[in-house]
């Protein structure tokens, strides 16, 4: 079940989320975190709270399958566009 109090916020900022996120979480940070996970090439990974798909995109080259979940339909729309 999603927290309904966050849904209006993410619906409002979905189009700008990648720009907002870049100020806090860079590609280098994402890639370093994924490298530390030492995923086997056969891994199936769940990205819970995938947002715009930024982490899922980084995981795509390290796992056999990445499944993104998010409570915000607006964020998932951007994730589909990004991926």
Find the radius of gyration of the CA atoms of the chain: 13
Residue 41 lies in a domain: yes
Residue 31 lies in a domain: yes
Q: Find the CATH number of the domain harbouring 64.
A: 3.40.50.150
CB atoms within 10 A of CB 62: 17
Q: Which long-range contacts (CB under 8 A, 24 or more apart) does 80-83 make?
A: 80/53, 82/18, 82/52, 82/53, 82/54, 82/57, 83/53, 83/56, 83/57
pLDDT tens per residue, range 23-75: 999 999 999 999 999 999 999 999 999 999 999 999 999 999 999 999 999 99
Structural domain total, the chain: 1
* pTM, 2 dp: 0.85
Residue 74 lies in a domain: yes
Range of the domain at 22: 7-82
Residue 2 lies in a domain: no
Residue 62 lies in a domain: yes
Residue 1 lies in a domain: no
């Amino acid at each position: 079940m999603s927290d309904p109090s966050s849904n209006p916020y993410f619906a409002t900022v979905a189009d700008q989320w990648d720009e907002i996120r870049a100020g806090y979480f860079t590609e280098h940070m994402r890639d370093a975190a994924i490298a530390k996970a030492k995923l086997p090439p056969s891994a199936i990974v769940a990205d819970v709270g995938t947002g715009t798909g930024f982490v899922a995109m980084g995981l795509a080259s390290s796992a056999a399958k990445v499944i993104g979940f998010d409570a915000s339909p607006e964020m998932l729309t951007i994730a589909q566009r990004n991926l």
